[in-house]
Structure 1
Amino acid sequence: MLSSRVLSIRISGKDRKEKVRKLLFDLAHFKNLWIILIRRYKELYGYYSTDQSILYGLIADKEYSSKKEGKLRKFKEVRENILKDEELTGLLKALKEQKRKVDNNYLLQQVIRSVVKSFNDYRKAYKEYQKNPKKFKGTPKPPKSKKLKFLMNFSVELNVNTFERLEDSILIKLRINSKEFLKVKLPKNFNFEIKSIRLKLFGTDVYADVVYKVETLELRTTGEYTAGIDLGLNNLIALVSTNPNLESLIVSGKEIKAFNQWFNKEKAKLQSEIDTIRNKLSQIEEEEETQNLKQLLTEKLIILKELSAYRKRRIDNDFHKISRKVVDILKATDHKKLYIGKGATESKDGINIGKKNNQHFVSVPFRRLIGLIKYKAEEVGIKALEVEEAFTSKTSPFADILEVRKIGKKYLKAKEKEDKTLLQELLNQLKSLRKAIRKFRGLLKDKVSGAFFNADLVGAYNILRVGENSLRLIEDLKLLFVKLCNPVKFRLIEFFYKVSCGTRKGAGSSSHNAGLSPFDYQSCGNLTTF
């Protein structure tokens, strides 16, 4: 089975980066012009003209032709309407000039295609909003142009006509007539079929994303065990497995949280300095001082972009390592399925859990981590599924989790209708069914057994029970207590470099058959828990 994968290569070298940056900024300006033209056309004539072939025909060097009379008639109507308005005529002239400046028709077509898609997505969202406005946080708005001096993200896809595969590299045609090329070196033994390439701007960094096809294993049915993962902030990953030889593990998220806190402070400090400079610029009239302030403002904006680019690289690097390690452990211990709670991603939408917590929680890209775990798991034949984790974290491992979620859904519906009487009644039912109390320092007191469990591990186990649609997955009570009470805890750096699977040969390995722990952490000595 073939699957698409992306290899992201950061472009180095000042001249090489600048060459690509200029092209991307030219394309971004081209996109802005189209958005402005289409929105102005709507103001004058009452509809968005977003037929891809017509748009490209407006700036083509040759006369527009079509076998369909209706399309030809439509093209003439659009062109005549544009020529009637001075602003639209000026925009069309600017688009033709920008086309000559970009000097790459293949890339221009991709940009036009993305503009059309943006407007089509807006129309689709607006129709859905009219039918069911409660699904949206606000009224969908049409695409708008972006200020180039604040441009942080922009990408364009190259098709097979714009690049050539060499032995150990790729030759990308940036501008056709001026014969401007970019050579990107590939990793050793990269023997995959390349489908396309994306040139991407992020902050001050420029990337070439190589999209290639890789053969993945069919999802196996021979695996014996399942696992559940609960994502969080202080404990980034809490993992519980039905494999009796695999101890529950917790990976700390405090390092990532601390990094985010540092990033947010630095960003706020820079933003404050930028705002101060802008205020001074609005008050000062002397030309020399104004030029100095503008130069300083530009420098601060560049630093801000570099800071954001650094954060992305750092988070991506950490999440790639975490996901690889987790998947390797599951592969070595004969797992067939993995269930991941997705509440951490959804609770970020409109979240308000206090100024300090917002600063930590909202900026952690859990969706990115889930995506990496899922695709890496599927590569080795482990089925990875996302599970709604509502009402799993404060529910006893011995409670009827399926009934709890059933009442929980009724509670959420009553909350939407603001039925206070029914809300209180359902809340009392939930408390009775959940049979657990959240205590201090991440502990959960279970009313059934009277024991104290790790709350995040209980959440992971409940996610696993929901995914498998089963109330009892671990019949041995002693084993269940050990799994929920005694996890192996790792700081991030320890998880990266001091944990290794007993084998990478796959399930049924010698270490697994011998009943050994799947991760070799004994070499660490006594790990300090966090």
Structure 2
Amino acid sequence: KLIWREEGYIDVMLTYEQSLGNNQLDKDKFISIDIGVNNFISAVSNKENVRSFIVNGKPLKAFNQWVNKLSAKLQREGKEKEHKLLWRYRNKRINQFFASITNLLVSLALKENIGTIVISKGLMEEYQKKSVKGEKFNQTFRVIPFGKFIQMLKYKCDIGGIDLKITDDERYTSKTSSISGDMEKKEFNGKRVKRGLFKDHKTGKVYNADLNGALNIAIKGLGEGIREQFLKLSNWIDKLSRPIKLNLFGKYSASVIKDIADSNSLSGDRRRTFSETFC
């Protein structure tokens, strides 16, 4: 199907059938994701060999601020054609970024036999509201399509046979210790000691704040038993304090997965199917 656009280009839409995954993945293994801005996603897993990782969101933040500022200027000057071209370019760059992250998440889950991904849409609802916090805040945060990212992830999870658990409630996930706190009772047992770090008052240990939030999102979405399971891992402290940091705003490479996990639990046929679908 061809769709002619006013800007002078054509969208080509292809429709085809895609079989869903065979759903043989281990649903007790999860990747839990905290969505943010400076750190676009922070991910932690209860699969022992899968390292925690953070995808840098600062390039998207700066890009979005630049687009919103230039967009306002073009509108003031009445340059409608240039304004449309700017937003076309902006949408392509953001779609590429989202595709890179969702490809990474789903391919990692399939490779490591992880059957569940947990994510919260609380931040999406907070930032997409009309803001009264000032021009700079609006240029930076507004119109980052967090909802589109979640939709793209859900589509790929469905094809891969991965359960995507979307939680609506993100309250207290950032201020509660995922190891010793209780969000329901508002027993936080910790606080941020500086930007990016969270200190557990009960254990005295310091964790990455966003990874602490990601584990709390898993506890919110999958139940309190997740904490006990996580603490049985021999490397649980490393999982909360030593993430791999990734920059994916430019170009995604499938080799990134090798830095996160070393095992080879995915059969050749399944890996080939995934590559043909997403890469």
Please report the TM-score for the alignment, with normalisation by the length of structure 1. Answer: 0.46
Q: Which has the higher contact order (CA 8 A, sep 6+)?
A: 2
Q: Which residue of 2 aligns with 1:383?
A: 163
| 8 A Cα contact 1:401 1:465, kept in partner | no
Matched, 1:484 2:240: yes
Report what 2:129 is aligned to: 349
1:455 maps to: 209
Written as runs of structure 1 = structure 2, the 5 A alignment for 1:491-506 is 491-492=247-248, 496-497=252-253, 499-502=255-258
Q: In 2 relative to 1, CA 216–498 (structure 1 residues): closer, same or farther, beyond 3 Å? A: closer
Whole-angstrom CA distance in 2 between matches of 1:498 and 1:211: 26
Structure 1 alignment gaps of length 5 or more: 1-169, 171-183, 185-198, 275-299, 405-429, 511-530
- Match in the other structure for 1:464: 218
Residue in structure 2 matched with residue 398 of structure 1 by the alignment: 179
Shift of 1:249: 0.2
CA contact (8 A) 2:43 2:214 kept: yes
TM-aligned CA deviation for residue 210 of structure 1: 3.4
Distance 1:439 1:401, change over 3 A: same
Q: 1:261 to 1:468 in 2, by over 3 A?
A: same
Deviation at 1:501, TM superposition (A): 3.2
Q: Is the 8 A contact 1:465 1:472 kept in 2?
A: no
Count of matched residue positions in the alignment of Structure 1 and Structure 2: 261
CA offsets, 1:71-107, max 9 Å, x none?
A: xxxxxxxxxxxxxxxxxxxxxxxxxxxxxxxxxxxxx
> 1:339·1:467 contact (CA, 8 Å) conserved in 2?
yes
What is the 5 A alignment of 1:503-522?
508-509=265-266
CA distance in structure 2 between the aligned counterparts of 1:238 and 1:386, rounded to whole angstroms: 15
Give me the whole-angstrom Cα distance separating, in 2, the residues matched to 1:493 and 1:256: 7
Aligned-pair CA distance for 1:272 = 2.6
What is the rounded CA distance, in whole Å, between the counterparts of 1:453 and 1:264 in structure 2? 34
Q: Percent identity?
A: 33
Match for residue 145 of structure 2? 365
The answer for the alignment partner of 1:437 in structure 2 is: 191
Query: Could you say what the CA RMSD is over the residues aligned between the two structures, in angstroms?
Result: 2.7
- Greater CA radius of gyration, 1 or 2? 1
Aligned to 1:255: 59
Between structures 1 and 2, the one with greater helix share? 1
- Which of 84, 94, 118 pairs up with 1:339? 118
**Letter paired with 2:92:** R
- Cα separation, 2, equivalents of 1:477 and 1:216: 32
Assess, with a 3 A threshold, how the Cα gap between structure 1 residues 264 and 336 changes in structure 2: closer, same or farther: same
- Displacement, 1:356? 2.1
**Is the contact between residue 228 and residue 240 of structure 1 (CA under 8 Å) also seen in structure 2?**
yes
Quick check: 2:32–2:44 contact (8 Å CA) kept in 1? yes
1:317, distance to aligned residue in structure 2 (A): 1.6
1:444-474, Cα deviation, whole Å (9 max, x unpaired)? 1211112221111011101111111124231
Please tell me the residue identity of whatever aligns with 1:305.
K
Counterpart residue number, 2:40: 236
For the 8 Å contact 1:392–1:401, the answer to whether it is kept is no
> In the alignment, what sits opposite 1:269?
73
User: How far, CA to CA, are the matches of 1:400 and 1:200 in structure 2?
Assistant: 55
1:472 alignment partner, SS class = helix
| Aligned pairs (5 A) from 1:296-315 | 300-315=79-94
